[in-house]
Amino acid sequence: MWCSIDPKYDPVGHVKKEISALKKAITKYGSAFTDLVVGLSIGSEDLYRSSAMGIKNKSGIGAKAEEIVEFIGMVRKAIADTPLKGTPIGHVDTWTVWVDGSNRAVIDALDWIGFDGYPYFQSNMPNNSIEAAADLFWESYEATRQAVSGKEVWITETGWPVTGKDMGLASANVKEAQKYWNDIGCALFGNYKTWWYMLRDADPTPPEIEFGIVDAKFQPYYDLSCKNAKPSPSPVAVVSTSSAAPSTSAPASTSAPSTRAPGSTYEIESSTRDSGSPTNTAQTAAKTTGADAPSSGFAVKATIGLVAAQAIAVAFFLL
Tell me how far apart the alpha carbons of residues 146 and 151 are, in angstroms, rounded to a whole number.
9
Q: Which of 111, 159, 119 is nearest to 258 (CA)?
A: 111
Q: Where are the alpha helices (DSSP H) in the chain?
A: 11-29, 31-34, 46-50, 52-56, 65-79, 95-98, 104-109, 133-147, 174-180, 186-188
Ramachandran bin of 134, using left for φ above 0, alpha for ψ from -120 to 50, beta for the remaining angles: alpha
Angstrom distance (rounded) from CA 235 to CA 107:
23
Between CA 257 and CA 144 the distance in angstroms is: 8
Q: Which residues pair with 268 in a beta bridge?
A: 196, 314
Q: Which residues participate in catalysis according to the annotation?
A: 45, 157
Distance, in Å, from the CA atom of 9 to the CA atom of 93, rounded to the nearest integer, reads: 23
Q: Are 41 and 1 in contact (CB under 8 A)?
A: yes
Strands 284-286 and 299-302: unpaired
Q: Distance between terminal CA atoms of the chain?
A: 31
CB 253 within 8 A of CB 122: yes
Residues 216, 203 contacting (CB under 8 angstroms): yes
